[in-house]
Amino acid sequence: MTFRGVFPYLVSPIDQSGVVMEGVLTDLVDHLIATGIHGLTPLGSTGELAYLTCEQRRKVVDTVLAANRGRVPVVAGVASASTSDAVAQTEYMVEAGADGIPAMLESYFPISDDGVEAYFTAIAKAAKGRPVVLYTNPQFQRSDLSLQVIERLSHVENIRYIKDASTNTGRLLSIMERTHDRMKVFAASAHIPVCVMMIGGVGWMAGPACIVPRQSIALYAAAKAGDWASAMALQRPLWHVNEIFAKYSIAACVKTALELQGFPVGAPIAPQMPLGEAARAEIAAVLRSVGALGSIGGRIDNQGYPPNESNSDHRRL
**Please, which residues have CB within 8 angstroms of residue 212's CB and are 6 or more apart in sequence?**
238, 241, 287, 290, 292
163 included as an active-site residue = yes
The span from the CA of 62 to the CA of 51, in Å, is: 18
204: left (phi over 0), alpha (psi -120 to 50) or beta: beta
Question: What amino acid is encoded at 254 in this protein?
Answer: V
Q: Which backbone phi and psi does 7 adopt, to 5 degrees?
A: -120, 95
- The b/e string for 122-149 (b: 16+ C-beta within 10 A; e otherwise) is bbbebbeebbbbbbbbeeebebbbeeeb
- Name the active-site residue from 92, 119, 163, 184: 163
- Name the active-site residue from 9, 92, 135, 220: 135
Question: In 3D, which of 269, 268, 267, 259 has the Cα closest to residue 293?
Answer: 259
Adjacent-strand bridge partners of 74: 40
108 included as an active-site residue = no
**Strand pairing of 184-187 and 203-206?**
parallel
The span from the CA of 68 to the CA of 137, in Å, is: 28
Instruction: Catalogue the active-site residues.
Output: 135, 163
